[in-house]
Amino acid sequence: MNTGDMWRAMLRMEVGAKAALVPVEGNNLTPMSIVIRNGQKSAKCPVTVWWADDGPPSMFCLEDGTSTAILFSTRCLQLDAQARWLVGNTSFRAGACELAYRLSLTRLSEHLLMLGQHRLALSAVLESIREQTIFAPFCRRWQDLEYLEVDEAYMALWFFGLGHEFGHVLSNGALSSSPLASRFEEIAESAVTKVLSELIWPIQIKRLLVERAHSAESSLSIHPSSLREECLADVGACSLLHESSQEALQLLGREMDFASFAWEMLAVGVVRSFNDSALALARVVSDPNPTSHALTALSSLVAVNVRLVFRRLYLEHSWATAKDSAYVSAYLDAMVGQLQEDCKTLEDSMGAAARFLLLSKETEPTILPSWLKPSIVGDITGEVRTTLKVFVSLARSFSTDCSEIHALGSLIDA
């Protein structure tokens, strides 16, 4: 078996039977090629990039000791675009909590399908559409994403996740000499303390969290080595996208605006860490003993904020040479302050979604709920129908044997 076939077989196990898997080359002048080419140039080993269409929201890298495969997917970009629209959008505050809750359930439902928890995934997707009257007005359709103007926001939305995965391959090489890497422990410790001091949690729980996170076998996201790995991969993404966005925008005859770039790096990073929290919580709710993971949610909220601090420091460092440093620092502080509010909204909604699923575990549905009428499945806007169609198709891709999902599929196919 050649390397391409080996990676294809390994990735296939992650993305389900029906996803289309295509290797993407970095050999032309599209923004994606520019990012891939620059990433491959700075990686410590050969990297192939794979695109999955019609699959779950996957974005990860796999290493086999000599080479790396990075996977990114259409579904991931679609969900990220919806979450990105919620982050930093002050004009839609009133509906933000509800949309964030529904989006959390959608993400959880798809991660649960991948974990083989099909019945729980069905509960999540049904709750995500129940009595839905408000919809995020942006990027529901794939074409909306494809036809976006190429600018700082486009580069970040499309490629921050890819850059982060490249960041995992760069982190031992290119970033090891960075001041952020050499002072990592000191910066991270004070960031964790600061984030914890701002959260309204009992002091005993905060102490327990820090104690557990430092034990060698800890899988918490604030365990020093995993936190270091993720923070440096984020910084790697900023560095790769800095270079690649300049190049892509130059081809269009314009200069990159660093202020817009910085804002996007901070905001899209929050969206990506939100996905990591969803994955962690999907594992928690599907565990037979979920309460043993109570610290996971708190740890992930802290990690999101610490990662934000690191990206801010990197951006300050790369920007300060051209601008007045007091101005840069105040500007970045204001952005981080606004994003911390959004992190809280996203994490609260994710927590509420997880609580809903833990309760519904006790009362698993044996039939589809009576409110799920054909009129809802075939709704006029098509939004609810699309959500359910994507879900059923993904469940089929993971060979579901859940009879309620089959019943839902018949309702949609009819």
Q: Give the interface size with Zn ion as a residue count (CB under 5 A).
A: 2
CA neighbor of 187 nearest in space, from 311, 297, 326: 311
Of 34 and 233, which CB lies nearer to Zn ion in the complex structure?
233
Q: How far is CA 99 from the centre of its chain?
A: 16
Of 167 and 409, which CB lies nearer to Zn ion in the complex structure?
167
* Residues forming a β-bridge with 72: 51, 59
CA neighbor of 38 nearest in space, from 172, 150, 159: 159
Stretch that binds Zn ion, among 4-12, 111-119, 132-140, 223-231 (CB under 5 A): 223-231
**Residue 272 CB, nearest approach to Zn ion (Å):** 8
Of 258 and 274, which CB lies nearer to Zn ion in the complex structure?
274
Position 233 contacts Zn ion (CB under 5 A): yes
Position 262 contacts Zn ion (CB under 5 A): no
**Residue 197 CB, nearest approach to Zn ion (Å):** 26
Stretch that binds Zn ion, among 92-100, 216-224, 229-237, 278-286 (CB under 5 A): 229-237
CA distances (Å), origin 355, targets 139, 348, 360, 362: 28, 10, 9, 12
CA neighbor of 261 nearest in space, from 306, 305, 322: 322
Q: In what order do the strands lie in the sheet with 68-73?
A: 20-24, 47-53, 68-73, 59-63
Residue nearest to Zn ion (CB): 233
Crossing angle of helices 74-86 and 325-362, rounded to 10°: 110
Instruction: Write out the binding residues for Zn ion, residues 95-154 only, by CB under 5 A.
Output: none
Q: Are 266 and 206 in contact (CB under 8 A)?
A: no
Stretch that binds Zn ion, among 215-223, 232-240, 311-319, 360-368 (CB under 5 A): 232-240
Instruction: Write out the binding residues for Zn ion, residues 339-368 only, by CB under 5 A.
Output: none
Amino acid present at 109: S
Of 191 and 232, which CB lies nearer to Zn ion in the complex structure?
232
**Residue 4 CB, nearest approach to Zn ion (Å):** 24
**Class of residue 53 by CB neighbours under 10 A (exposed 0-12, middle 13-18, buried 19+):** middle
Of 35 and 99, which CB lies nearer to Zn ion in the complex structure?
35
Of 233 and 350, which CB lies nearer to Zn ion in the complex structure?
233
**Residue 113 CB, nearest approach to Zn ion (Å):** 21
Stretch that binds Zn ion, among 134-142, 149-157, 170-178, 228-236 (CB under 5 A): 228-236
Of 136 and 231, which CB lies nearer to Zn ion in the complex structure?
231
**Class of residue 92 by CB neighbours under 10 A (exposed 0-12, middle 13-18, buried 19+):** middle
**Residue 319 CB, nearest approach to Zn ion (Å):** 24
Of 157 and 233, which CB lies nearer to Zn ion in the complex structure?
233
Of 266 and 405, which CB lies nearer to Zn ion in the complex structure?
266
**Residue 394 CB, nearest approach to Zn ion (Å):** 23
Crossing angle of helices 325-362 and 294-319, rounded to 10°: 160
**Residue 274 CB, nearest approach to Zn ion (Å):** 13
CA neighbor of 48 nearest in space, from 77, 30, 29, 27: 27
Of 123 and 305, which CB lies nearer to Zn ion in the complex structure?
305
Position 76 contacts Zn ion (CB under 5 A): no
CA distances (Å), origin 11, targets 19, 169, 226, 309: 10, 18, 23, 32
CA distance 146 to 195: 37
Stretch that binds Zn ion, among 184-192, 194-202, 227-235, 332-340 (CB under 5 A): 227-235
Q: Are 210 and 78 in contact (CB under 8 A)?
A: no
Amino acid present at 48: T
**Residue 232 CB, nearest approach to Zn ion (Å):** 9
Stretch that binds Zn ion, among 116-124, 222-230, 312-320, 383-391 (CB under 5 A): 222-230
Q: List residues near Zn ion by CB under 5 A.
A: 230, 233
